[in-house]
């Protein structure tokens, strides 16, 4: 509540902006998140059903890879989300550091497990795809390696937050780590890429995939939307739990749970 | 600048009064590199091939070993709070501490690496490149590690957590540092690797003390 009181005092900030900053307070964000969650779940379900239907029944069998290729409908969206969620997490972390808004830190904390899940899913499905296609569960390809490192970054973020008892300090320390990570991700990605080409030459190249059938692309996009909506729904559910946990001493939480 | 030099002098003096702590990290470096041939076998061709990687991984680990000490003692006895309150900017004092950490934990590794490289049958020019790469790379390790050390200051299970936070960030240094020596052995140009190491060092020298200071202020709140 104290957060938006400060902004109210600013002359020149338009009325609509103040309306938005209202949600920087856990008390007003909690019910808003509660109202949004069912919509995102519904969107995730609709996109998910449509995406799965296209990817299992409509999309043609791949000429070279057979039916096994269908795992990319889970694998590619999971990889995209794992990278995207890290950026969103860093965005909230930066916002929390700059404006000292409490919900931002909670959002970053709520996003991390979903991001780690996506990275793990991407690695796991990638291994399932790699075994029949490449004949190996794992190769030291640049993309695989950088995805693995991204997974480590998520784990580090979560471990740091879990190790610090004071939630405000945990938020700030996590935010600094997330920002350091975001600066490092491109450096890590390019160094791994160069390391890979230097060592083994590109025997296996993911980028030179045969051009995709239109329906395959649609299936993948729909699945990506489903994953996206799922991530938002889960992150909002988690942020509500975090708000309740941290604000348990306040009056409004006692009323909210009645 | 004077404050920076004074911090460097102070940290080195403190460390020299308790030599065993510095020497432990150095001996760790020597022992780890000696373990690899014992585990892999004494075949000179294979050892020569993996020597840069072994020396670099050992350097990462032994730098990591010295990191928790960077701020912990000063945090315990309240010196760190005095530093934060002092008229000189905290960032400068932190930079001084990082320089001292490199002089104590990084520079000995740079000086020892050529000797250890001899055990792996590296020739003189490869040893030169190895030393040069470590000379550029170990300050980078100290700079990145300082961020992790500040973030985990006074935190439960800090040591293991520090490794988890810092090691993924060390990967580019490892790739280009070990890569320079491997490229040289393979007869390729090493300029690119060393330039990239130097570029990362310049970037880290600018940003890392700043991020470390921010993390320390969070820890001191």
Residue A40 lies in a domain: yes
Put simply, whether B169 touches A (Cβ < 8 Å) is yes
Cβ(B146)–Cβ(B67) below 8 Å: yes
pLDDT of residue A5: 47
pLDDT of residue A211: 59
A136, burial (CB in 10 Å: exposed 0-12, middle 13-18, buried 19+): exposed
Q: Distance (Å) from the C-alpha of residue B131 to the closest C-alpha of chain A?
A: 20
Residue A23 lies in a domain: no
Report A:135-154 residues touching B (Cβ under 8 A): 149, 152-153
Residue A168 lies in a domain: yes
pLDDT of residue B1: 79
**CB-based contacts of A196: which residues, under 8 Å, 6+ apart?**
A140, A141, A142, A145, A202
Residue A13 lies in a domain: no
Residue of B nearest to A157 (CA): B165
Residue A194 lies in a domain: yes
Q: B36 to each of A176, B59, B207, how far by Cα in Å?
A: 36, 14, 35
Each residue's pLDDT tens digit, A16-59 = 777 777 777 888 888 888 889 999 999 999 999 999 888 888 87
DSSP letter (8 states) at residue A208: T
For chain A, the 3-state helix, strand and coil shares in percent, each to the nearest 5, are 80, 0, 15
In DSSP terms, A62 is beta-bridged to A66
Indicate which of A97, A151, A187 best probes the interface with B, i.e. most B CBs within 10 Å of its own CB: A187
Contacts of A159 in chain B (CB under 8 A): 161, 164-165
The number of distinct structural domains making up chain A is 1
Which of B155, B169, B179 is facing A163, going by the closest CB pair? B155
**How many C-beta atoms lie closer than 10 Å to residue A161's C-beta?**
20
Residue A104 lies in a domain: yes
Contact across the interface for A198 and B211, Cβ inside 8 Å: no
Indicate which of A100, A154, A163, A193 best probes the interface with B, i.e. most B CBs within 10 Å of its own CB: A163
Domain residues for the domain of A42 are: 30-256
Residue A9 lies in a domain: no
Each residue's pLDDT tens digit, A183-213 = 888 888 888 777 776 655 444 445 545 556 7
DSSP letter (8 states) at residue A65: T
pLDDT of residue A201: 45
Residue A12 lies in a domain: no
ipTM of predicted complex? 0.86
């Amino acid at each position: 509540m104290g957060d938006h009181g400060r902004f109210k005092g600013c002359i020149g900030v338009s009325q609509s902006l103040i309306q938005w900053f209202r949600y920087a307070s856990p008390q007003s964000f909690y019910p808003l998140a509660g109202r949004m969650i069912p919509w995102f779940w519904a969107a995730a379900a609709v996109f998910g059903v449509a995406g799965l239907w296209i990817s299992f029944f409509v999309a043609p069998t791949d000429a070279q890879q057979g039916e096994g290729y269908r795992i990319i409908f889970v694998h590619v969206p999971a990889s995209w989300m794992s990278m995207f969620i890290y950026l969103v997490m860093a965005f909230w972390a930066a916002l929390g550091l700059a404006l000292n808004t409490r919900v931002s830190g909670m959002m970053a904390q709520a996003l991390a497990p979903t991001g780690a899940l996506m990275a793990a899913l991407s690695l796991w499905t990638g291994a399932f795809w790699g075994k029949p296609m490449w004949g190996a569960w794992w190769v030291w390809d640049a993309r695989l390696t950088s995805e693995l490192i991204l997974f480590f970054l998520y784990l580090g973020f979560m471990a740091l937050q879990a190790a610090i008892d004071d939630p405000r300090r945990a938020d700030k320390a996590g935010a600094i780590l997330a920002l350091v990570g975001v600066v490092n991700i491109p450096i890590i990605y390019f160094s791994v890429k160069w390391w890979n080409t230097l060592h083994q030459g590109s025997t296996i190249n993911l980028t030179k995939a045969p051009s995709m059938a239109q329906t395959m692309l649609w299936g993948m996009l729909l699945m990506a939307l489903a994953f996206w909506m799922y991530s938002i729904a889960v992150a909002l559910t988690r942020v509500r739990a975090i708000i309740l946990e941290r604000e348990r001493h306040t009056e409004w939480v006692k009323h909210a749970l009645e | 600048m004077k404050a920076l030099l004074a911090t460097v002098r102070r940290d080195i003096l403190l460390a020299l009064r308790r030599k065993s702590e510095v020497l432990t990290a150095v001996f760790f470096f020597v022992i780890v590199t000696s373990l690899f041939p014992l585990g892999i076998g004494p075949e000179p061709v294979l050892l020569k091939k993996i020597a840069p990687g072994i020396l670099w991984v050992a350097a990462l680990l032994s730098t990591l070993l010295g990191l928790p000490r960077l701020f912990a003692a000063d945090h315990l006895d309240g010196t760190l709070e005095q530093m934060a309150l002092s008229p000189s900017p905290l960032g400068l004092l932190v930079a001084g501490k990082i320089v001292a950490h490199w002089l104590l934990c990084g520079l000995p590794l740079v000086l020892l690496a050529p000797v250890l490289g001899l055990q792996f049958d590296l020739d003189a020019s490869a040893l030169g490149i190895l030393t040069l790469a470590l000379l550029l790379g170990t300050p980078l390790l100290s700079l990145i590690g300082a961020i992790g050390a500040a973030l985990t200051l006074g935190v439960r299970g800090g040591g293991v957590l520090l490794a988890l936070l810092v090691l993924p960030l060390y990967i580019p240094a490892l790739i280009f540092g070990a890569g320079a020596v491997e490229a040289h052995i393979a007869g390729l140009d090493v300029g690119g690797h060393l330039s990239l190491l130097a570029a990362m060092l310049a970037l880290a020298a600018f940003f890392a003390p700043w991020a470390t200071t921010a993390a320390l202020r969070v820890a001191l709140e």
